[in-house]
Amino acid sequence: MRVDIPRTVSPSRVEARFRELRERGAKGLIVYLTAGDPSLDATEELLAALERAGVDIIELGVPFSDPLTDGPVIQRASERALRAGATLRKILERFPRWRQTVRAPIILFSYFNPLLQYGIEQLARDAAQCGVDGVLAVDLSPEEAEDYVKTLHAHNLDTVFLASPTSTDERLERAAKLSSGFLYLISRTGVTGERDDVAQTVPVMVERARRKTTLPLAVGFGISKPEQVRQVQKLADAAVVGSAVVHAIEERYPREGAVAIERFVRWLREGSGGKSV
C-alpha cells in the first residue's frame, strides 16, 4: 500500500524535539492535559508548569461532550472544561499567549467533531498561525483522512494517528504513512485510565510498528508511575501519561496550585520528589 501526502519542507518542532532526544541518547515524556480544566486561566499556569518540569511534548485536549475513548478521569475533566466555557475557538485565541512561555511542542488532541465544526482549512490556518505544532484526531479513521492530512501538512502541522494492539498490518501501515512527528501506539484496548502495570502487548506492538515506519514511536494508555514510564521508554521513543496527570490536576490543583503538578510530573520523569507532596 502506498499513501503519498505532500508536506512542506520545514522541519516541525516535534521532529526537532525527537532529534534532540536521539542526539542525547534520551527518551521522551509526553503529557496530556485537558484545555480549560478547571479554567483556561488555569491551563496557562499548568502549561508553564509542564514546561518547567521538562516535558518533551504536550498533548492539549480539546474538551468534547461525548469522549468515547476516555475513561472517567478525562471525562470529568472535559465536563469541567465545558462548564467553564472552553471551546476550540477560545483555546486557539489564547494559544499565542501560552506559546510565549512554552517552548515544548504542543499537539491538539481532539475528537474529529470539534475540528470538523470549526472547519479543517480554517483550523489549519489558525492553528499554524498561533503556534500549534500538530493535531491528533482520536476518532478519525486513517482510511478517511487523506484530505485532512493534506490540508494540515500544507500548513506544516504534524498529523499524529493511533494504532492499537488489534490494528491489522494494513491499518498499522496506513496510520504510519499518514502520521508525521510520531506514531502513537495505544498499549491496550478500552478507554484511558491509570493501570498498575504496562500491558504485555507493548513489546509486540512496538516491534510490529518498527517494521512499518521510521517515525518515533510513543506509547500511551495506562501509564501512571515512573517505573512504567521507564519500562515503556526502554521499548519505544516516548511514554505518554494522561489520566494520571489529569487526576493530579483534579485533586491537587484546587488546593496546591500548578507547583503541585510540576512536582508530580518531575516525579514521573525522575522517580522521586513529587507524588505524595
Residue 41 and residue 171: Cα distance in Å, rounded? 39
Please check whether residue 181 is in contact with residue 189, taking contact to mean a CB–CB distance below 8 angstroms: no
Count CB-CB contacts under 10 A for residue 3: 14
Question: Which residues are designated catalytic?
Answer: 59, 70
DSSP three-state, residue 141:
coil
Count CB-CB contacts under 10 A for residue 83: 13
| 156-159 contacts, C-beta under 8 A, 24 or more apart | 156/7, 156/8, 156/10, 156/12, 156/128, 157/12, 157/124, 157/127, 157/128, 157/132, 157/133, 158/12, 158/14, 158/15, 158/107, 158/133, 158/134, 158/182, 159/134, 159/135
Distances (CA, A) of 271 to 33, 119, 225, 227, 266: 20, 42, 8, 7, 8
